[in-house]
Amino acid sequence: MKLAILHELNAERTARRPVILVTDTESGEQRLVKAKDFAKDPLGAELEKQLRMGKSANVEAGGKKMFLNVYAPTAKLVIIGAVHISQALAPLARSLGYDVTVVDPRTAFASPERFPDIPLVAEWPDTALPPLNVDAYTAFVAVTHDPKIDDPALLHAFERNCFYIGALGSRKTHAKRGDRLRAQGARDTDIARIHAPIGLAIGAVSPSEIAVSIMAEITAVLRLPPKEKEEAA
Amino acid sequence: MLDRDEDILKAAEDWQKAGRGVALATVVETWGSAPRPAGSSLVINDEGTFLGSVSGGCVEGAVVTEAMDVIQSGKPRMLEFGVADETAWNVGLSCGGTIRVFVEKVG
């Protein structure tokens, strides 16, 4: 690997931008393709697919064997609300490979005893969120049930283009939330991005089951191609 | 995306900049129950220091030896390990899978 390619690869990874390294395994020739350039690449469709799956693979192109090595940023999960569901959700998400952070200004909730080994930020969202670098590789879940905490957090998630945004609450609660967020400048397209009621409909009752339904929904949004995604949601 | 690898590519860059000969070994294909998926990598320097893994520890020794040659020659090489061939018996990929590992010089 040329040092220039390695340097660029490391720079992209540090900036949390997805790239794929394409290697001709016969000749050793390589090129680095940034996600934003996939559309104009001859291997565009394969690159899209492998990035979505988060999986490196071999492809044949023009009689050559190419290895596509996928470097996608580690997915993050930001949980707003150190509630009972979050106690099940945080370790589950971590076992799936997410970097998890729990945010709740209520110190009685955001206590290390309740969340052993999980990074906790006991601050209001406007203080807690900017340093977390919420981005397009972040799933964002608001489960406090308290509009004073959830609403500003959701506005931040819209701004940062999170790949998944979910919020706890019935359809009725969610309709009221939509009205409040619109009054604070959110667009209808933003509101439409919120998965609410949160999680796949699997009849979840206990906090752990709700955590499973949330992670199942996040996984579907992350991995399924756009069309099947709509059907699952 | 969901892998939590130690930052071996950063180490590769740092070693190279510090004047070391460096090679990168990457799993490019797996069959059967291979311990590490395609894309997993191992970085080796000319002192024999290595970081990362391409298997559960079974074939790293052999990969490091080959990597030393690659650092010398500068020519990339494809290695294959599996239970079906003699090399694999020697180095012992006990999981029963087969892997192909691409070894290249950095820089």
What amino acid is encoded at A79 in this protein?
A: I
pLDDT at position B91, please? 56
- Taking the CA of residue A148 and the nearest CA in chain B, the distance in Å comes to 32
Q: What are the φ and ψ backbone dihedral angles of A36, each rounded to 5 degrees?
A: -70, -15
Amino acid code (one letter) for A105: P
Number of domains in chain B: 1
Tell me the residue range of the domain where B22 lies: 5-106
pLDDT at B94: 59
| B interface residues, A as partner, C-beta within 8 Å | 1-4, 9-10, 12-13, 16, 24, 26, 28-29, 37-39, 75-76, 78, 102, 104-107
Beta bridge partners, A71, equal: A19
The pTM for the full model equals 0.73
Q: Does residue B83 register a pLDDT over 60?
A: no
Rounded Cα gap, residues B63 and B102, in angstroms: 10
Task: Give the number of C-alpha atoms closer than 13 A to the C-alpha of residue A33, restricted to the C-beta side.
Answer: 24
Whether ipTM tops 0.90, in short, is no
Q: What is the pLDDT of residue A227?
A: 66
**Each residue's pLDDT expressed in tens, for chain A with a length of 233 residues:** 999 999 999 999 988 899 999 999 988 999 999 999 999 999 999 999 999 888 899 999 888 999 999 998 889 999 999 999 999 999 999 999 899 999 999 999 999 999 999 999 999 999 999 999 999 899 999 999 999 999 999 999 999 999 999 999 999 999 999 999 999 999 999 999 999 999 999 999 999 999 999 999 999 999 887 666 666 65
A49: chain B residues, CB-CB within 8 Å? none
Burial class (CB in 10 A: 0-12, 13-18, 19+), B61: exposed
Question: Which candidate in A30, A47, A50, A67 is best for mutational testing of the B interface (most B CBs within 10 A)?
Answer: A67
Q: Is the pLDDT of residue B90 over 70?
A: no
